[in-house]
Amino acid sequence: MIKLYKIKTGKTELDPVEIAKFAVQNGVELPTPADPMKMLVKQVSEAAREEMRVDRKTGRPYRAYHSLPIKQGQETLFFWVDIDDATRAQMLRSTNRRREQIVGDVVQLTFDLDHWAAANPDEEPIALETDFGPDVEWRKAADNDDDEAA
């Protein structure tokens, strides 16, 4: 439907609201509303993911809850643990999962940039620095500068 929208409208910057309206106008049926309990579970997970606290000593924000993948049969479910109650093993599992997500995002972004460079051979390729160590340290230092300025 996105491709058809692009062809029909000639637009290259794509507004999901406009595309959804276009899809409905072109015969796509609206999805069946989700199960209310599943919707609530999703909202609880989003709230857990988004809740931030501030460290009393450093004044820096930290995530209050961390997700833990739990394998139940063929299915992987996610439970949440309060960081203040988490064991080292729980934090290690959560951290490894988050790190794998970050690595996956960076790998996909390199594939995207490789494709863009191949599709645009007359343009300078976009270099992606994948050593984030300096960036992390700069951000942490900038946060300290902001705290001191406040």
Q: How confident is the model at residue 147 (pLDDT cuts 50, 70, 90)?
A: low
SS3 81: strand
**What mean pLDDT, rounded, does the chain reach?**
93
Burial class (CB in 10 A: 0-12, 13-18, 19+), 61: exposed
Token couple for 150: 């406040």
Can you give the pTM of this predicted structure?
Answer: 0.74
Question: Does residue 150 surpass a pLDDT of 70?
Answer: no
pLDDT of residue 145: 64
pLDDT of residue 146: 61
